[in-house]
Amino acid sequence: MRGPQQEEYTIMFADVVDSTGLYERLGDIEAQYRISQCLGVVQDMVERARGRVIKTAGDDILCMFDRAEQAIIAAASVHESMADEEIFDDNEIRMHIGVHSGLGLITEGDVFGDMVNVAARVCSAAKAEQILTTRETIERLPKNFEIPQRYLDKVTVKGRIEPIEMHEILWKGSGDLTGVMTGLEITKIGAKILKLRNCGLEFDLLPDMTSFIIGRDLECNLTINGTMVSRQHAIIEFRRDKFVLLDQSTNGTYIRPQQGKAYYVRREETPLLGEGEISLGKLVDDRPALNIFYKFL
């Protein structure tokens, strides 16, 4: 198993505007409730756009995406959703969002590197209900991903020699962007494939597939022979924008992400994100015939 490596991601940093003033105006209980609801909206939109929440700290939230357009869709969806929610009608609570793309280091479920600092700096420069991003993100957007944006300025970031070029995403009042943010378009833009590999066999699992069964039985989609393997050991399905492994075995299943520690599931389900190995019944290193390698693209 290789150690942590830098890979290209897009980071979205979202923060509640003037949270200190919010506590003063609304009181601790109401302010905390509003902030919690706000961060819940962010998490929902991030998951819809196939991103993942890395961590929250008080009134801000750090999220990561494999592709730049996913982050832009999530950011715009956050502002649109808050504009539609009755709880936010009084404009007491609003967010500002920064997005940046680059190389990051993922270790123990957290992300580190210059890209995080830049995303935080871009977020701090954004006004309420504004989305700011960088040239690096704009350059990574697909050619067919039409989105209103404008160049703003160059700003300096502590620890960086070169300034960063900032752009504003013009999400408000844009019919084109609203169309992009429908659930159908999010699915199209973030269309994913789960690749499985075992002993020279390769499978590409698509969102519209039926259940993919793994086990000892010859009728399974993928047959694995092992004393700890059940006849129909596990099922992989596509649900709620992700591939999920459901263990239904006697001895359970081990999931070993490429970056992170192995974990065990038995008679429960787990999403298959990133890439790694699936071991049926027991965790093994020296018998590739018992290991299934997966990669979520």
Q: How confident is the model at residue 203 (pLDDT cuts 50, 70, 90)?
A: very high
Res 185 pLDDT > 80: no
Place of tokens 């690749």: 195
**Same domain, yes or no: 28 and 145:** yes
DSSP letter, residue 59: T
Same domain, 80 and 166: yes
**Does some domain include residue 95?**
yes
Confidence of residue 183 (pLDDT cuts 50, 70, 90): very low
User: Residue 39 sits in which domain range?
Assistant: 6-189
Same domain? For 245 and 114 the reply is: no
Closest CA to 105 of 9, 6, 12: 6
Q: Give yes or no for a contact between 169 and 72, defined as CB atoms under 8 angstroms apart.
A: yes
The verdict on residue 237 lying in a domain is yes
Same domain, 63 and 161: yes
What are the structure tokens assigned to 128, written together?
A: 């309420």
Instruction: Tell me the pTM.
Output: 0.59
Query: Do 131 and 212 fall within a single domain?
Result: no
Query: Among 156, 189, 222, where does a domain finish?
Result: 189
Same domain, 284 and 202: yes
Neighbours of 212 (CB within 10 A): 19
24, 79 contact by CB (below 8 A) = no
- Is 1 domain-assigned? no
Q: Where are the beta strands (DSSP E) in the chain?
A: 6-16, 52-57, 60-65, 95-107, 110-112, 131-134, 149-155, 164-169, 194-198, 201-205, 212-215, 222-223, 234-239, 242-247, 253-257, 263-265, 269-271, 275-280, 291-296
> Span 28-48, mean pLDDT?
86
pLDDT band at 187 (very low <50, low <70, confident <90, very high): very low
For residue 214, pLDDT beyond 90: yes
**Domain identity same for 100 and 119:** yes
What was the pLDDT predicted at 297?
80
Q: Which of 132, 158, 189 is the last residue of a domain?
A: 189
Residue where the block lists tokens 């590739």: 288
Which residue, 167, 165, 189, is CA-closest to 77? 189
* Alpha carbon distance 149, 135 (integer Å): 11
Last residue of a domain, one of 151, 172, 189: 189
Structural domains in the chain (count):
2
What is the CATH classification number for the domain harbouring 19?
3.30.70.1230
Quick check: 286 pLDDT over 70? Answer: no
**159 and 200 assigned to the same domain:** no
The Cα–Cα gap between 236 and 292 comes to 12
Q: Based on the domain organization, do 270 and 144 belong to the same domain?
A: no
- Domain containing residue 290: CATH number: 2.60.200.20
Q: Is a pLDDT exceeding 90 seen at residue 136?
A: yes
Q: Which two tokens stand for residue 240?
A: 């709620």
Nearest-angstrom CA–CA distance, 189 and 280: 33
